[in-house]
Chain A
């Protein structure tokens, strides 16, 4: 039987921070919260400036294809919708991903499993350099160098594949097309996807790779049966990070894609656009009401990009935890 007189007193657990601890903890917390505060302020600003547009047009602002400011003195004549631009954003981003991911996978596997050490170091540094090239440089290069090549190749491609609707171009006008923009975006996002893929593939269990060799497997067999299954979710996360970058890319798309307000899935035709290039194109000459519409478009782009990047981070972090 317990003697209550000798029952030990419940201990209160406390942490006594010194003043230096408190200052350090406070400044680190402020630093961490700062980026969240900035994010929230940007969202609040865009919502505040664009709210009138959402209340005037409702959901049709997101689905509508027409962008007509009407009479600048009478905002009721305006018909504004970013549906065509949203579709263009997704279309160019998907083209970019479809081209970038196979290249990124191949590059990552080569760097991790085939390249000699000196080549590996050089290639990794080169990829980081390519990732740092400003978007405007890509845009100028795409316009000056890639555009004539894509224009030349679009004609026979359309002739061979016009039975597939996305390759058919009834207007016969090629050039600054979603395909060109997507191709350029793929070059821009390949370093990001390669970097994530390389990190994930490099963490594949070495003991399982050795087991594959010890059973008579080749290097490709080890990669196919151990490395690729292991790196699957990490690669998806990397692709989504690239997708987030492609969705928000402005200058490169602005220089390589003709802005046409028409939902267009014909990737070789000279028509399209994305939300970011819409904002860049219209911002300089926008009326006050149109400016609000651009803010609202920016909010939609902001939320979509935030969601894609959040999902990508969750997937990549989950693939790291599996290690």
Chain B
């Protein structure tokens, strides 16, 4: 019941190949230089981009093999984007509740789950604020809460430490550790700095 990636991916004239497996509850680190295709690989796993060849399989179901393709909203994969992509017109609470609401949860239930997720990342009390009123680190935590609240099968974190200053990184590492501990999600963390994910990821793949 793993996430299996054995695919060639890329955009335009850029091609890369990656092959790895991630078991439930495991964390895989993906490192590489700028432009090595780390974000593109995450987007391909999430369904935003498509494989050039090979396949991506989750729990025995083919997500993309060039012919079969499962739409992003049906993949149980959630991405924490490098540029976060919080919805500017929504409050923090509505941003975090977006995933459950999209999956049909009633508003009250979705908001309750969102409050729980915000408390887990240390942002209890921030529910009514807007993304543009938060610091970089706070926005990062909201993005993480928004991802984990849906209990995804696959959690994809794209450079989660990129928008956070050096002093705040230990705190964010603790938040991530707390979120990932006990989670059954197959987690892939991308970073251009291996030291950021050294104690989070059991396995590291270099692109």
The chain A residues found within 8 Å of chain B, CB to CB, are 207-208, 210-218, 221, 225-226, 229-230
Asked if B87 and A208 sit within 8 Å, CB to CB, the answer is yes
Q: How far is the CA of A210 from the CA of B89 in the complex (A)?
A: 16
Most chain B beta-carbon contacts within 10 A, residue among A210, A216, A230:
A216
Q: How far is the CA of A229 from the CA of B47 in the complex (A)?
A: 25
- Measured between beta carbons, the chain A residues less than 8 angstroms from B81 are 207, 211, 214
CB distance from B33 to the nearest CB of A (A): 23
Q: Within 8 Å of chain A (Cβ to Cβ): is B132?
A: no
- Secondary structure call for the A interface: helix
Asked if A214 and B98 sit within 8 Å, CB to CB, the answer is no
Asked if A207 and B90 sit within 8 Å, CB to CB, the answer is no
Chain A residue with Cβ nearest B103: A216
Q: Within 8 Å of chain A (Cβ to Cβ): is B181?
A: no
Q: How far is the CA of A226 from the CA of B89 in the complex (A)?
A: 8
Asked if B146 and A215 sit within 8 Å, CB to CB, the answer is yes
CB<8 Å pairs between A and B, sample of 29:
A208-B85, A208-B87, A210-B72, A210-B85, A211-B79, A211-B85, A212-B87, A212-B102, A213-B48, A213-B73, A214-B46, A214-B47, A214-B72, A214-B77, A214-B79, A215-B99, A215-B102, A215-B150, A216-B73, A216-B103, A217-B73, A217-B98, A217-B99, A221-B102, A225-B87, A225-B90, A225-B98, A226-B87, A229-B89
With A218-B102, A221-B102, A225-B98: A213-B87 Cβ-Cβ less than 8 Å: no
Q: How far is the CA of A211 from the CA of B72 in the complex (A)?
A: 10
The chain B residues found within 8 Å of chain A, CB to CB, are 46-48, 71-73, 76-79, 81, 83, 85, 87, 89-90, 98-99, 102-103, 146-147, 150
CB distance from B152 to the nearest CB of A (A): 9
- Measured between beta carbons, the chain B residues less than 8 angstroms from A213 are 47-48, 71-73
Chain B residue with Cβ nearest A218: B73
- Measured between beta carbons, the chain B residues less than 8 angstroms from A225 are 87, 89-90, 98
Asked if A207 and B85 sit within 8 Å, CB to CB, the answer is yes
Q: How far is the CA of A226 from the CA of B98 in the complex (A)?
A: 12
Please name 7 further chain A to chain B contacts, defined as beta carbons within 8 Å, in addition to the given A216-B78, A217-B102, sorted by A numbering: A211-B85, A212-B98, A213-B47, A213-B71, A215-B78, A216-B103, A218-B102
- Measured between beta carbons, the chain A residues less than 8 angstroms from B48 are 210, 213-214
Q: How far is the CA of A18 from the CA of B13 in the complex (A)?
A: 46
CB distance from A269 to the nearest CB of B (A): 43
Q: How far is the CA of A208 from the CA of B98 in the complex (A)?
A: 12
Chain B residue with Cβ nearest A205: B85
Q: How far is the CA of A212 from the CA of B94 in the complex (A)?
A: 13
Q: How far is the CA of A229 from the CA of B85 in the complex (A)?
A: 15
With A207-B83, A207-B85, A211-B81: A216-B99 Cβ-Cβ less than 8 Å: yes
- Measured between beta carbons, the chain A residues less than 8 angstroms from B73 are 213, 215-218
Q: How far is the CA of A211 from the CA of B146 in the complex (A)?
A: 11
